[in-house]
Amino acid sequence: MTFFADAMLGKLARWLRTLGYDTAYQSDILDADLVQQVLHENRWLLTRDGYLVQRKVLQGRSTLIRSDDVREQLGQLHVELGLSLLLNQSTPSRCAACNALLESLPPEKATALVPPVVAKQYQDFVRCPHCHRLYWPGTHWLHLQQQLTALRARAIR
């Protein structure tokens, strides 16, 4: 499933990208252009705009997000769309910033690009081929996994 998150859902877009979901996001797009892009790229619209989801052309291809809280938003998508909230080393993650698929980067190449303490502590690195951001499974990765585990547990109740 590919998504388009509207201007009010930037945090959700970053989370979905981290989870490996192709998620377009533009903070400054007119509604008419957004609708055209959703239709042209065959994406599922995620929006907080109740008027937008009422458009006939978007019926059956959008979700009205009810909460302002990103954890509740992810929980809603997990329940309503069956969105997987699993994050592990085999997840084909996308760049949280630009949505490009991340590529593996050998540790010897990453060493020159990260702080020495990171180079010593980690061996798995991925890099965005578009914006060149570098990612590794540090403490932030563990924190994300803990939050997702809690969300899955809440959804089961």
13 in the same domain as 70: yes
Residue 156 has pLDDT above 80, yes or no: no
72 in the same domain as 40: yes
118 in the same domain as 69: no
The CA-atom distances, in angstroms, between 81 and each of 23, 42, 156 are: 15, 16, 14
- The answer as to whether 90 is a domain residue is no
- Look at residues 14, 47, 81 and tell me which one is the last residue of a structural domain: 81
38-79: per-residue pLDDT in tens? 999 999 999 999 999 999 999 999 999 999 999 999 999 999
What number is the average pLDDT over the span 86-93?
Answer: 75
Kindly write down the DSSP assignment for every residue of 128-151, as one continuous string: -TTT--EE--SHHHHHHHHHHHHH
CA 40 to chain centre: 20
- The answer as to whether 95 is a domain residue is no
Give the C-alpha separation, 92 to 124, whole Å. Answer: 14
Instruction: Tally the domains of the chain.
Output: 2
- The answer as to whether 47 is a domain residue is yes
Please report the pLDDT score of residue 139 as a whole number.
82
Tracing tokens 């990103």 back to the chain, one arrives at: 70
Q: Are 35 and 1 in contact (CB under 8 A)?
A: no
Task: Look up the domain containing 48 and give its range.
Answer: 3-81
pTM over 0.95: no
